[in-house]
Amino acid sequence: MLTRKATEADEREVKGLWGYCFEKPSDPFFQWYFENVYSPETVLVGEEKGQIACDLHRRPYTINVRGERLPVDYIVGVATHPAARGKGFASELLRGAFHMAASEGKPFVTLMPSAASYYLPMGFGFYCHQWERRASPEELAKISRKALSCRTISSEEDWRELASIYDAYTDGRNGYTLRDEVSWKSHIQGQLVEGYIALVYDERGPSGYLFYTFDDRTLIATEMAFARESGRRGLYAYMAGHRGSVDTCVWYEPIDDMSWMYWNDGAEHTYISNKTFPYMLGRLTDPVTAFDGLPCPEGVEGEIAFQLADSFLPENSGIYVLRAGNGHISALKTDVFYDLKLHIEDISGVPMGSAIPEPAFCIGAGALAQLFMGSADLSDLLRLEKARWLTKNEAGRSRTLALGKAMLPKEKNWINEWF
Tell me the average pLDDT across 119-127: 98
Tell me the average pLDDT across 142-156: 96
Tell me the average pLDDT across 142-163: 97
- Other Cβ atoms closer than 10 A to 232: 23
Written in H, E and C, the secondary structure of 113-158 is CCCHHHHHHHCCEEEEEEEEEEECHHHHHHHCCCCCEEEECCCHHH
Report the distance separating Cα 215 and Cα 222, nearest Å: 12
Amino acid identity, position 381: L
Taking only the tens place, the pLDDT of each residue in 88-121 is 999 999 999 999 999 999 999 999 999 999 999 9
- Other Cβ atoms closer than 10 A to 165: 21
Q: How far apart are the first and last CA of the chain?
A: 27
CATH-assigned architecture of domain 2-111: 3-Layer(aba) Sandwich (3.40)
Element (H, E) at 181: helix 181-194
Specify the CATH class of 286-407 in words.
Answer: alpha beta
267 against 202, higher pLDDT: 202
336 against 298, higher pLDDT: 298
Its pTM surpasses 0.85: yes
> Which of 37-41, 84-88, 141-145, 266-270 shows the lowest mean pLDDT across its residues?
266-270
Percent of the chain residues past pLDDT 90, beyond the cut: 88
Q: Identify the band that residue 341 occupies on the pLDDT scale cut at 50, 70 and 90.
A: low
Task: Judge if 131-281 and 286-407 fold alike in CATH terms.
Answer: no
Amino acid identity, position 220: I
Q: Identify the band that residue 265 occupies on the pLDDT scale cut at 50, 70 and 90.
A: confident
- Domain residue limits, the chain: 2-111, 131-281, 286-407
Q: Identify the band that residue 337 occupies on the pLDDT scale cut at 50, 70 and 90.
A: low
- Is the CB of residue 57 less than 8 Å from the CB of residue 76? yes
Q: Identify the band that residue 78 occupies on the pLDDT scale cut at 50, 70 and 90.
A: very high
pLDDT above 80 for 351: no
**For position 266, what pLDDT does the model report?**
75
CATH-assigned architecture of domain 131-281: 3-Layer(aba) Sandwich (3.40)
pLDDT above 60 for 344: no
Report the distance separating Cα 413 and Cα 419, nearest Å: 19
Tell me the average pLDDT across 5-20: 96
Taking only the tens place, the pLDDT of each residue in 358-387 is 899 999 999 999 999 999 999 999 999 999
> Which of 19-33, 99-113, 260-274, 332-346 shows the lowest mean pLDDT across its residues?
332-346
Percent of the chain residues past pLDDT 70, beyond the cut: 95
